[in-house]
Amino acid sequence: MRIYIGILIILMLLSLVSPIQSITYAKELIIKDELKFEFWSLPWFPQSDKAAELIVKQLEKIGIKLELRRLESSIMYPRIQKFDFEAYALATSQSPNPLSMLDSFTSKWAKPDIGAFWGPLEDPEFDELINKIRTTTDPNELKRLVKEAQRRIAFESGFIPIYLTQSVKVIRAEWKNYTVMTGGLLEVFDIWSILYMYKSDKPEENVFKIAFPSDVLSLNPFTAVDLRSIWIINLIYDPLVRVDPEFNVVPWLAESWEVSDDGKVYTFKLRKNVKWHDGTPFTADDVVFTFTEGIKQETQRFVGLKDIIESVEKVDDYTVRFVLKNPYPFFLIDLATGYYYIAPKHIAGELDLTQWDNKNPIGTGPFRFVERTVGEFIVLQKNDDFWMAGVPKITRIIMKVIPEAESRFLAIKKGEVDTERYDTAITLVKQAEEDPNLNVVTAPGLWLIYIAFNTVNHFYDPKVFQAIHYAIDRQEIVEKANGGFGYPVYTVLNRFWNGDLAAEDIVFEYDPDKAAKLLEEAGWVDVDGDGVREYVGEKKREEEKPVETVVKTETVMVTETPEAATKTVTVVETVVKTVREVETKVETVTQAAGVSGGVVTGLIVVIVVLLGIIVFMASRMRRTASS
Amino acid sequence: MSSDIAGRRFSDIVFDLFSNVTFTTGFMIVAAVAIIAVLADIISPYPPLEFVAEPLLPPSELHPFGTDDLGRDLFSMTLHGSRVSLMVGITAAVISTLVGIAVGLTSGIVRGVLDMFTMRVIDFLLSLPYLAIALAILSFLKPNMMIIIMIIVVLSWIPTAKVVRAHTFSIMESLYVEAAKAMGAGRFYIAIKHILPNVVPITLSSLVLNVRDAILFEASLSFLGLGDPSSVSWGTILFFARRAGAFAANVWWYIVPPGFMIMLTVLGFTLMAIGLDEVLNPRLKKTQ
């Protein structure tokens, strides 16, 4: 008996001393032979494509091989949604509602064909945590739970955020009075700029032209999924509430609202002076129709509310009551940022909303639809009956499709358009800053650049993901991939979009040594010396061969002026000489100045030309001799 | 007899070729590019895909062609680019010409159902939009040099096959083939002994033109971002340039070197093809 107790105590002590903390992960590990992944990237999105190239190089250093492959979105997205991928780099748009990001890590998204993107955690406990967040009203408790969720995602998921872009927009200098808010000038949440901007006191001169990279896909407020379409819909239609530049919820079509004590009933008072563009008055019927039918017919924009809203009822013509299934403290911010636009019942009432082509949109918004030529332009005109007095100042908006980024920039420079909807290419910013006719407006951007691994059915080892976190030099990526216009981001939420809900205390400082150590702890060692780590089980680790290391010294030239350059060249040469003299077994990668390369190339050309001429003359002479 | 091509001695043809200005000029250009491609590792001052300096530096003594938007040395990239372009171009062209000769010759000699079948296949392939097909294939296969070469081969053996087939037909009608047939020569013997030597000079110039087309095709695929990402070719550099918005940003040193090299190489091969045609094609041969 004593022996047993003794053994038990020894075992307990041993478990305490054991160096590797045994963290239990909810999801089982999925291991592959070596850390080699096919890594997809979109060729036409420079902010993420350049980052992808840099990440490939950075991860190569710690023995993780990413094989870059560029794919068009039409091929890439469906395959990602079916979890038929290994890893990719992309950008995701941000929203002030923290749940829009957090929810996608719950188990319900782990099924193929449901439209999920990165790998969920697949842990019931985590799902419970998100559910708790959904229903918590106490702000401090909420903060704690959201941070806990972020911590779990950061340490356990295959989703690795890299940086938030800084929006850089170029706009003609004659435009005044715009608002700069997170997301960038004139992005969807920024209705304020479009309402208050003007360039002249004469109304007829306030024609605002904006260039789009491609045409909008849909003008149906129930089914539009791309932000380009929503940008136009946002001007024609109104939501119940909007966010102000600080992301506070403000009244819009709803004048005021009351929340019941249990947080389940929201009663909205609607504005009375609102008219549809065809003159019909706007009433509670339209709101009830939009939400009930939108949810019932499972339209893309409204189907997400299915689990939230129990019913929408009309109290009187200007009062609507929303009854929720559970208390949901994010309901108002969700209404304001979830692109829920109120559609007219008298037009769409009897239609199949998922198939509605909406060729002549009638809304309540600040602009009315005038005409559209598919693939070329859309014209909108100021709504003179808009319920808010004195706005908009712009009388006409013309959206023009200009596919090439450079053509768009040149069009702005020439004054053919006033601005463009996408960020201006970083290489063009300097030119824009020097041009007195152009203003460069920067703000925290809309896009979070991230990489994601397929943890559902391809590979799952949290230690490896942590190592990747540490091995990525986010600062270098921001500087090289986006000219310094961006902010390193370490967790799914960030302070620009989610304020103090973001877990700013989770930071993965660039530390390749730590990354390598983490990988070794997890059993990833480069056994065959090919630069890619293989998996060795716990037992195999003792047989590990010491890997022969070749020291590489690289002489990097920092200075760029000609005098300094020649100086560096001589320094390099002496360094190379001494290295050779000492005969250390150091492999030097000498980087002789480009001059020598240029001279050699020139010489080759000259020699070839001379030889050619000689051969030519010789053959001529021989031919004349023989004939 | 074995060193004869179309009844002329091989060395005579070589001297004829080099006394042709067009051919010699083209040959010099191609030779220079080829030597640069072979020596790329030695000449280039930096590894082509490493970030070695500040981004978008204009040409200087350290970086003769400047640097790109990620701080890579464009001179080294251009030198290494010639390697991929030439390798893909020449390999694809040689394979596709061999395939073309084999198919054309067989079809021309055997005739009948086989000829019918091959011609319908050729008609079908000719009706395909090449670039679109290549894009579709590359969406499913991982692009590496072998895949790209294979795609070019599949799409470019047709013109050679058609030319060879037509010539085989006309030669089969000629008197000496009749004579050989009368003396009991088999089809295979006639094909090797009489038709092939007459067909080769014609395919030589189409071989050279195939190289040119393959280089252009590879460049356009890479320009669309579908090239092999682990190596750099001229088309890839132009893709990077477009991604960086170099055209409007006045970063001319990003676009000019690869563009100029593509133009020069294509010009070289075209001149070679014209020269070859002038010397080898009896109808075009200048009267002496």
**What is the SS3 assignment for A278?**
coil
Residue A6 pLDDT: 60
- Asked, for residue B26, whether it belongs to a domain, the answer is no
Of A43, A427, A556, the CB nearest to B225: A43
CB contact at 8 A, B212 and B270 = yes
> How close, in Å, is residue B52 to chain A by CA atoms?
7
H/E stretch holding A37 reads: strand A36-41
Does the distance separating the beta carbons of B28 and A598 come in below 8 Å? no
Query: Which ipTM was obtained for this model?
Result: 0.79
Nearest Cα to Cα of residue A78 among A44, A119, A108, A116: A116
Residue A406 pLDDT: 85
- Asked, for residue B121, whether it belongs to a domain, the answer is yes
Residue A1 pLDDT: 55
* H helix intervals, chain B: 10-18, 21-38, 40-43, 74-110, 112-126, 130-140, 145-156, 158-172, 175-182, 187-190, 196-223, 234-243, 252-280
Residue A579 pLDDT: 45
d(CA A73, CA A67): 18
* H helix intervals, B39-70: 40-43
d(CA B239, CA B255): 10
Residue B286 pLDDT: 54
Give buried/exposed letters for A366-375 (b at 16+ CB in 10 A, else e). Answer: bbbbeebeee
Work out the angle at residue A325's Cα, subtended by the Cα atoms of residues A247 and A316, and round it to the nearest 5 degrees: 80
- Asked, for residue B204, whether it belongs to a domain, the answer is yes
Residue B4 pLDDT: 52
Nearest Cα to Cα of residue B262 among B225, B231, B207, B222: B222
Question: Taking CB atoms and an 8 Å cutoff, what residues of chain B touch A595?
Answer: 61-62, 64
- Asked, for residue B57, whether it belongs to a domain, the answer is no
Does the distance separating the beta carbons of B288 and A627 come in below 8 Å? yes
Which residues are registered as beta bridge partners of A70?
Answer: A41
What average pLDDT does this structure show over B100-128?
90
Does the distance separating the beta carbons of A38 and B52 come in below 8 Å? no
Count CA atoms closer than 13 A to B262's CA, side-chain side.
Answer: 20
d(CA A559, CA A568): 8
Residues of the domain holding B252? 88-280
- A152 to A146, A217, A275, A491: CA distances (angstroms): 10, 37, 48, 10
Percentage of the residues of chain B whose pLDDT score is greater than 70: 95
CB contact at 8 A, B230 and B169 = no
pLDDT tens digits, one per residue of A173-188: 999 889 888 888 888 8
CB contact at 8 A, A257 and A266 = yes
Which of B174-177's residues contact partners 24+ apart within 8 Å by CB, and which partners? Answer: none
Q: What is the CATH number of the domain that holds B128?
A: 1.10.3720.10
Give the single-character DSSP code of B264.
H
> How close, in Å, is residue A481 to chain B by CA atoms?
7
Which residues are registered as beta bridge partners of A69?
Answer: A40
- Asked, for residue B79, whether it belongs to a domain, the answer is no
- Asked, for residue B208, whether it belongs to a domain, the answer is yes
Nearest Cα to Cα of residue A142 among A91, A99, A177: A99
Of B15, B36, B224, the CB nearest to A623: B15
The single-letter code of the amino acid at A30 is I
Residue A580 pLDDT: 46
Of A427, A560, A627, the CB nearest to B57: A560
Does the distance separating the beta carbons of B71 and A609 come in below 8 Å? no
Does the distance separating the beta carbons of B69 and A426 come in below 8 Å? yes
Residue A537 pLDDT: 66
- Asked, for residue B69, whether it belongs to a domain, the answer is no
The tokens describing A90, both together, are 């992309």
**How many Å is the maximal CA-CA distance in chain A?**
115
d(CA A406, CA A44): 13
Confidence of residue B31 (pLDDT cuts 50, 70, 90): very high
Chain A residues 62-91 within an 8 A CB cutoff of chain B: 67-72, 75
Nearest Cα to Cα of residue A194 among A208, A204, A182, A215: A208
Residue B186 pLDDT: 84
The tokens describing A341, both together, are 């636009």
Which residues in chain A show pLDDT less than 70?
Answer: 1-26, 113-116, 537-594, 627
* H helix intervals, A18-111: 46-60, 73-81, 99-102
Question: Taking CB atoms and an 8 Å cutoff, what residues of chain B touch A618?
Answer: 18
Separation of first and last alpha carbons in chain A = 115
- Asked, for residue B73, whether it belongs to a domain, the answer is no
Does the distance separating the beta carbons of A616 and B21 come in below 8 Å? yes
How many domains are there within chain B?
Answer: 1
Nearest Cα to Cα of residue A561 among B59, B60, B53, B67: B60
Residue A540 pLDDT: 43
Question: Taking CB atoms and an 8 Å cutoff, what residues of chain A touch B74?
Answer: none
Does the distance separating the beta carbons of B64 and A598 come in below 8 Å? yes
The single-letter code of the amino acid at A338 is G
The single-letter code of the amino acid at A181 is M
User: How many residue pairs from chains A and B have C-beta atoms closer than 8 A?
Assistant: 160
Residue A440 pLDDT: 93
Average model confidence (pLDDT) across chain B: 87
